[in-house]
Amino acid sequence: MATDPVIDVAGLGKTFATGRAGSRKHKAVEAVRDITFHVEPGERLAYIGPNGAGKSTSIKMLTGILHPTAGRAEVLGLVPWQDRRRLTMRIGTLFGQRSQLWFELTPRQSFRMLGAIFGLDDARLARRTHELAELFEADELFDAPVRNLSLGQRMRCELAACMLHEPEILFLDEPTIGLDLLGKQRFRELLVRLNAERGTTIFLTSHDVADIEHVAKRVIVINHGAVIYDDDVAAIRRTLLATKLIELSLEHPTDEPAIPGVTVVEHTPTTMKLVVDTSTRSIRDVVDALLGTCPVTDLSVVDPPLEQVIAEIYGAPRP
């Protein structure tokens, strides 16, 4: 028996009216149009697009904050904007720029309030807090007032707050905004771990490509309010760009090799970087040629950065 999708979206759309009705400035902005996709339980999905693409609007409709103007959606079998209170008991939300934790209180004090809100009894709240403290290595953080925490520390506590009631789906809207590299890395690791240990479905919006590379298995690209791509992260790399990068370490300086379908993008006395057009030439042939002509001490073959891939998709004309 096939599992029901935890998120089921069909033809979802949201039009905002700007300016006063009847005034000259009045016009309708179609923020999101005709969005259709399904998400299976336990998936890690990234929902990406440039600023103003409609990511936040989409996620806010799925969490019951906004009412759509077209289409339908079901999350865990519930219509978000109609069954908001029942749904929010089973999902967690983390919006990068809006805090669940209260600024002047410690996270633990906020947890106590959230425990009352989610109907967790004292025993369960204590157990969950302890589990999360261990999982997030955040025990000392829970007793410091939030205003004293760094952004990275705060986001870890925010994530813990979302997980307190053991939700089945976690919705995150630009969660790594403002974090430094290390902070982002730690945060992503936590998401992956949550998904692995508890099977929590992860639905993440971002315009940071590294979020997708390290967290998501599947990516939906949205631009100008419409879905323009929906597939595995690996597939995006493979199908949209037939290129690979080769990085060489050299024993001594050497001339650039002349191989058709291969362009040298960086050349120092000890290293070389090349871009291979795999539609013209197979990687095997190129590597053979390089090993034959260059004093290679080390060699690696990598996929092109996702940034490049996404940029190509963004640049595609509106369907």
Partner 1 sequence: MTAARALAGTQRAAMAEAWANRRGFWTQVIAMVVNDVAWIAFWVLFFHRVGAIRGWDSSKVLLLLAVLTTSAGLVLGMLGNARRIGRLAVEGDLDAALALPVPPLAYLLVRRIDTTNLGDLAFGIVLFAVAGHPTPLRTLVFAAAVVVAATILTGFLVAAGSVAFFAGRNEAGELGFHAMLMFASYPVDVFSGAAKALLYTVVPAAFVSAVPARLIDHFDGRLAATLVGVAALFAFGGWALFTAGLRRYTSGAVWTRA
Where does this chain bind partner 1 (CB under 8 A)? 16-20, 29, 31, 52, 56-57, 60, 63-67, 81, 84-86, 88-89, 93, 95, 98-100, 102-105, 109-110, 112-119, 145
Residue number with CB closer to partner 1 (17 or 301): 17
Phi then psi dihedrals of residue 145, to 5 deg: -60, 140
Please identify which residue in the block is written with the tokens 């077209």.
Answer: 70
Residue number with CB closer to partner 1 (56 or 306): 56
β-strand partners of 73: 9
Residue number with CB closer to partner 1 (56 or 153): 56
Least distance between partner 1 and beta carbon 307 (Å): 24
Least distance between partner 1 and beta carbon 97 (Å): 9
Residue number with CB closer to partner 1 (101 or 248): 101
Least distance between partner 1 and beta carbon 56 (Å): 8
Least distance between partner 1 and beta carbon 23 (Å): 10
Contact 80, 87 (CB under 8 A): yes
Least distance between partner 1 and beta carbon 151 (Å): 18
Q: How far from chain centre, in Å, is Cα 28?
A: 29
Please identify which residue in the block is written with the tokens 């690979």.
Answer: 244
Listed residue (156, 125, 168) closest to 6, CA to CA: 168
Sequence-ordered strand ranges (E) for the chain: 7-18, 27-39, 44-48, 70-75, 91-95, 169-173, 201-206, 218-223, 226-232, 243-250, 262-267, 271-277, 296-302
From residue 78, give the alpha-carbon distance in Å to each of 69, 93, 125, 227.
Answer: 18, 16, 26, 23
Residue number with CB closer to partner 1 (145 or 261): 145
